């Protein structure tokens, strides 16, 4: 019985290690690699020229920068929130200022994101734009044919 359990655990460990190695090799372990794979796939599916590919890569760089900025802001927000909660009474003005700062950064981020996407989207031919709309529509539909964000 013990021998069977040990063999089963060894096989499961090997399968887990192989799965992690495959995921790492396929680029599914880091957001940067995943974004690079997505841009390559979109470039292939839309048959982009050099200028369009450059605009797509600029859009991907903007996404990467905004993600890093959001993560840095999240770390700062956590430390500020921890300081705020460690005080004997809640400073309401400071809490509202933290929330306002978060919304302000999101507002700046959405402007940069829309500008970068508009530069890429405006450079596409009409048939490429319709193909992009199809790709985005296909991504929004989940595994069982339901929209991902429809609850």
Q: What is the pLDDT of residues 69-115, one digit of tens each?
A: 888 888 888 998 899 889 898 888 988 988 888 888 888 888 888 99
CA angle 137, 140, 142 (to 5 degrees): 125
Contact 56, 120 (CB under 8 A): yes
What DSSP assignment string belongs to 99-127?
HHHHHHHHHHHHHHHHHHHHHHHHTS-HH
Return the pLDDT at 58: 92
Note the pLDDT tens digit of each residue in 1-14: 888 988 998 988 98
Residues listed for the chain: 151
Specify whether domain 30-135 bears CATH 1.10.10. Answer: no
Q: What whole-number distance in Å separates Cα of residue 112 and Cα of residue 72?
A: 17
What is the value of pTM for the model shown? Answer: 0.67
Question: What is the 8-class DSSP label of residue 141?
Answer: B
Return the pLDDT at 62: 92
């Amino acid at each position: 019985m013990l021998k069977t359990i040990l063999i089963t655990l060894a096989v499961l460990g090997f399968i887990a290690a192989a799965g992690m190695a495959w995921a790492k090799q396929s680029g599914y372990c880091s957001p940067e690699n995943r974004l690079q794979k997505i841009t390559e796939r979109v470039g292939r599916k839309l048959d982009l020229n050099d200028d369009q590919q450059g605009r797509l890569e600029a859009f991907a760089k903007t996404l990467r920068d905004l993600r890093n900025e959001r993560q840095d802001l999240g770390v700062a927000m956590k430390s500020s929130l921890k300081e705020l909660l460690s005080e004997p009474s809640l400073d309401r003005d400071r809490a509202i200022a933290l929330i306002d700062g978060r919304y302000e950064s999101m507002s700046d981020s959405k402007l940069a994101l829309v500008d970068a996407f508009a530069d890429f989207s405006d450079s596409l031919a009409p048939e490429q734009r319709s193909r992009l709309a199809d790709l985005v529509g296909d991504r929004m539909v989940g595994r069982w044919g339901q929209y991902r964000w429809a609850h």
